[in-house]
């Protein structure tokens, strides 16, 4: 561990405050470090390893494709890209896909789509939400509604404005002659697991229609069956409401590749040809290896009804977390989320965490590492459960047991 740390110190740009853990291997929702210590993984990357670690069918799909064709570029047609595009359109709605390599890059495509859409009428401004997260590129940090990602990187790119989340009136007030789009996450992830309300989604759709704006959704974290449906709006809206709701474009990444880097965005049919030949591109995007992996994951999710598993395991986790929260209100403030995207908001005055400047979320995650549970922090006081879609009941219960004991220990010291 110390050897590894000193290599990082010497050779890796120190943008991350890494946790003191180095993993050697994984299987399903379990990880092992170099000392052979076993952890239950409720983070799966950061909502990335959608089928857990070292899934045998994914390893097979990856190596079979690697033996056939890894990469040829987007100058040519490839079968895996076409197959995946059709699968994603079948899931999302009539429209078309563009493939890239990450979430920030997928969002870049949405900004460019919006600017193309508004070009002739001189419109370019995109309204986004406070506490949102849209990635670390220059436009990504301009779109993101959190000051901390922008500090030291000014001037911030123009053309973005932020308003409070779930506040329709604030969006209406922000409308200017330059406005061309509204972009939100269906469930804010990095912001601390905050779902959009159904009124907000339906209101935004209507507002965008009336004012000829694009409604863009960043589904990089909350999409891909995580909330129990393909997209979060299908979970938030009722069966009837969802019939009259569709975004104009959706960005995807994280869980899409199950750990293999891939990003993508979907554009509804009406606007799908706005980005014509030469207008956008990428060397690696849609490479056969990534697409074969993503295709296989979708096939397995559908075959094994993992959306149903996300609902079942999500409610098991959330119900029990609520029981733990009720038993220890001096440690846990609230539990919120949808499906397998759950945030636990900690209290601000947990005695154990008062002796350090380190945010409570980070101290909690460290404490859970000692107890062999992996969670992901969000902001200063939220820890997230973002497990694999194929999470088993046994792994969920083991995670809950560790979490319960840790919270009880923290409560005991009050
Ligand atoms: C992680 C994330 C991104 C950025 O994705 P990268 O692959 O890190 O570029 C964008 N939007 C949301 C909602 C995310 O959670």
191 and 245 co-located in one domain: yes
For ligand 1, the distance from its centroid to the CA atom of residue 352, given in whole angstroms, is 32
Nearest CA to ligand 1 atom 10: 134
Nearest ligand 1 atom to alpha carbon 218: 13
Ranges of residues in the chain with a pLDDT under 70 are: 413-414
108 and 119 co-located in one domain: yes
Domain limit, last residue, from 303, 332, 347: 303
255 and 394 co-located in one domain: no
Supply the pLDDT for residue 1: 86
* Alpha-carbon dihedral angle through residues 394, 305, 92, 103, given to the nearest 10 degrees: 30
362 and 221 co-located in one domain: no
Number of domains the chain contains: 2
33 and 155 co-located in one domain: no
261 and 148 co-located in one domain: yes
Residue 30: CATH number of its domain: 3.90.1150.10
Tell me which of 165, 220, 249, 262 to substitute to probe ligand 1's pocket, judged by most ligand atoms within 8 Å of the beta carbon.
220
* Residue 109 CB less than 6 A away from ligand 1: no
Domain of residue 139 covers 56-303
Supply the pLDDT for residue 413: 60
For ligand 1, the distance from its centroid to the CA atom of residue 17, given in whole angstroms, is 18
Q: Which residues contact 107 (CB under 8 A, 6 or more apart)?
A: 134, 135, 137, 139, 140, 143, 183, 218, 220, 251, 265
Supply the pLDDT for residue 306: 98
100 and 136 co-located in one domain: yes
344 and 393 co-located in one domain: yes
Residue 236: CATH number of its domain: 3.40.640.10
Domain limit, last residue, from 303, 338, 359: 303
For ligand 1, the distance from its centroid to the CA atom of residue 134, given in whole angstroms, is 6
Supply the pLDDT for residue 222: 98
99 and 204 co-located in one domain: yes
Domain limit, last residue, from 303, 330, 346: 303
pLDDT in tens, 74-118: 999 999 999 999 999 999 999 999 999 999 999 999 999 999 999
């Amino acid at each position: 561990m110390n050897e590894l740390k000193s290599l990082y110190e010497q050779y890796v740009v120190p943008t991350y405050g890494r946790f003191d853990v180095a993993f050697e291997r994984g299987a399903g929702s379990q990880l092992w470090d170099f000392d052979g210590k076993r952890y239950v993984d409720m983070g799966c990357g950061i909502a990335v390893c959608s089928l857990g670690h070292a899934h045998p069918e994914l390893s097979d799909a990856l190596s079979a494709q690697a033996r056939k064709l890894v990469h040829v570029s987007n100058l040519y047609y490839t079968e895996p890209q076409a197959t995946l595009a059709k699968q994603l359109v079948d899931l999302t709605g009539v429209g078309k896909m563009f493939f890239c390599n990450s979430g920030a890059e997928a969002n870049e495509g949405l900004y460019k789509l919006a600017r193309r859409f508004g070009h002739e009428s001189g419109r370019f401004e995109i309204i986004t939400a406070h506490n949102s997260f849209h990635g670390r590129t220059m436009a990504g940090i301009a779109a993101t509604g959190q000051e901390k990602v922008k500090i030291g990187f000014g001037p911030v790119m123009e053309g973005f404005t932020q308003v409070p989340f779930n506040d329709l009136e604030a969006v209406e007030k922000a409308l200017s002659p330059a406005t061309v789009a509204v972009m939100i996450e269906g469930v804010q992830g990095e912001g601390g697991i905050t779902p959009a309300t159904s009124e907000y989604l339906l209101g935004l759709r209507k507002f965008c229609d009336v004012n000829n704006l694009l409604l863009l959704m960043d589904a990089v974290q909350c999409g891909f069956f995580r909330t129990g449906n393909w997209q979060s709006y299908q979970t938030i809206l009722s069966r009837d409401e969802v019939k009259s709701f569709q975004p104009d474009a959706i960005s995807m990444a994280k869980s899409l590749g199950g750990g293999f880097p891939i990003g993508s965005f979907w554009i509804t049919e009406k606007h799908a040809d706005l980005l014509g030949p030469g207008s956008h591109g990428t060397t690696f995007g849609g490479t056969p290896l990534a697409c074969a992996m993503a295709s296989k994951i979708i096939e397995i999710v559908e075959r094994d009804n993992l959306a149903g598993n996300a609902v079942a395991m999500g409610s098991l986790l959330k119900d029990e977390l609520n029981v733990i929260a009720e038993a220890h209100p001096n440690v846990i403030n609230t539990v919120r989320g949808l499906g397998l995207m759950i945030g636990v908001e900690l209290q601000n005055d947990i005695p154990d965490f008062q002796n350090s400047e380190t945010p409570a979320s980070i101290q909690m995650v460290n404490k859970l590492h000692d107890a062999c549970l992996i969670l992901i922090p969000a902001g200063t006081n939220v820890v997230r459960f973002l497990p694999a879609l194929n999470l088993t009941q046994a792994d969920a219960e083991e995670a809950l047991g560790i979490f319960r004991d840790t919270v009880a220990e923290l409560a005991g010291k009050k």
